[in-house]
C-alpha cells in the first residue's frame, strides 16, 4: 500500500473524486481513507496541521498497515524567488526548525535532517514536464508555526538551504525512516516568497490540528481587513491542488511498478 499524507481536508478533496473508497476511519486525530486507484492500494491520511499531529498519524498508520511507500504531499510555501503558485517542489532533504521566533530575528535550524528517495526525482520532473507544470528540486523545512508573511519566508529561506516550508514533512520522514519505509516529499506551492497572507490574524487551530471555526470567526471579525488575503490563499491553494492532482496518480501508478 502507498500512503499519501496531507494536513487538511480541503487538500484531500480533489483526490477523493478519483479513487474507489474501500474504508474510512479515524485513528487519534487523523482521518484515514483506504482506497484503490487503477488496481493500486492506497491510503489517504489527513494528519491535521503540525509536527505532533503528523508524527502521531505516521506512527499509527505504519504500526497497523502494510505500507510500502510514503508520499508527503499537499501545499507548501515558497522560500526562494522564482518558485510560483502551482509549481511542484520535490525535496532532497527535509530540515527542521522548532525555533522560529516571531518576536526576534532568531531562527535555529535543527542538526537532524532526513534525505528523501532521490531515485524518483527524475520521474516526478518528467511527469511535470509532460503536464507543463514548473518543477523545482531542493530542500524542504518543517516549522512549528504558520509562516505566511513575506518577511518571515524571506528570512527562513536565507538562513536555511530550503526552497519550501510546511509544518508536517519532517515528522512523516522521521517515522518513515524509523520504520524502514521509503518516502518522498512532493508538494505544490500555495504562496510565493513575496506573498503577505497574515494567516495569524485570521485563523486559530484546535489542539488536534483542525481549524477552530468559532475562534477563527472571532479573529476574522476583529481583523476584517485581512480577509482578502485569506480569499487569495483559498484561490491559490486550489491552483496548487490542481497541479498536484494532475501528476500524483500517474506517479502512484509508476511507483506501484517499482516497489
Summarised one tens digit per residue, pLDDT across range 148-161 is 788 888 888 888 88
Residue of 118 and 208 predicted with greater confidence: 118
Q: What pLDDT is attached to residue 1?
A: 92
pLDDT for position 211 = 58
Residue 142: the pLDDT is 93
**What confidence score (pLDDT) does residue 227 get?**
64
For range 165-189, the mean pLDDT: 94
Is domain 2-195+237-256 classified as CATH 3.40.50.1580? yes
Q: Is the Cβ–Cβ distance between 37 and 17 less than 8 Å?
A: no
Binning pLDDT at 50, 70 and 90, where does residue 110 land? confident
* Res. 225: pLDDT tops 80: no
Give the mean pLDDT of 180-206: 79
Amino acid at each position: 500500500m502507498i500512503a499519501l499524507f496531507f494536513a487538511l481536508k480541503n487538500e484531500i478533496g480533489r483526490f477523493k473524486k478519483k479513487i474507489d473508497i474501500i474504508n474510512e476511519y479515524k485513528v487519534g486525530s487523523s482521518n484515514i481513507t483506504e482506497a484503490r486507484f487503477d488496481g493500486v492500494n492506497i491510503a489517504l491520511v489527513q494528519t491535521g496541521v503540525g509536527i505532533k499531529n503528523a508524527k502521531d498519524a505516521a506512527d499509527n498508520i505504519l504500526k497497523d498497515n502494510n505500507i510500502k511507500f510514503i508520499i508527503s504531499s499537499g501545499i507548501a510555501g515558497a522560500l526562494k524567488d522564482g518558485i510560483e503558485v502551482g509549481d511542484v517542489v520535490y525535496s532532497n532533504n527535509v530540515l527542521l526548525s522548532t525555533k522560529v521566533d516571531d518576536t526576534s530575528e532568531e531562527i535555529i535550524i535543527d542538526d537532524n535532517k532526513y534525505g528523501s528517495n532521490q531515485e524518483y526525482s527524475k520521474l516526478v520532473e518528467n511527469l511535470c514536464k509532460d503536464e507543463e507544470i514548473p518543477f523545482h528540486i531542493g530542500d524542504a523545512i518543517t516549522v512549528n508555526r504558520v509562516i505566511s508573511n513575506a518577511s518571515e519566508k524571506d528570512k527562513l529561506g536565507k538562513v536555511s538551504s530550503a526552497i519550501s516550508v510546511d509544518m508536517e514533512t519532517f515528522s512523516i520522514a522521521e517515522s518513515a525512516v524509523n520504520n524502514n519505509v521509503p518516502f518522498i516529499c512532493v508538494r505544490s506551492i500555495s504562496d510565493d516568497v513575496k506573498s503577505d497572507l497574515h494567516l495569524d490574524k485570521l485563523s486559530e487551530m484546535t489542539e488536534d490540528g483542525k481549524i477552530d471555526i468559532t475562534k477563527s470567526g472571532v479573529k476574522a471579525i476583529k481583523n476584517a481587513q485581512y480577509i482578502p488575503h485569506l480569499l487569495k490563499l483559498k484561490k491559490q491553494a486550489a491552483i496548487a491542488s490542481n497541479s498536484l492532482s494532475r501528476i500524483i496518480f500517474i506517479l502512484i501508478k509508476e511507483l506501484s511498478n517499482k516497489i
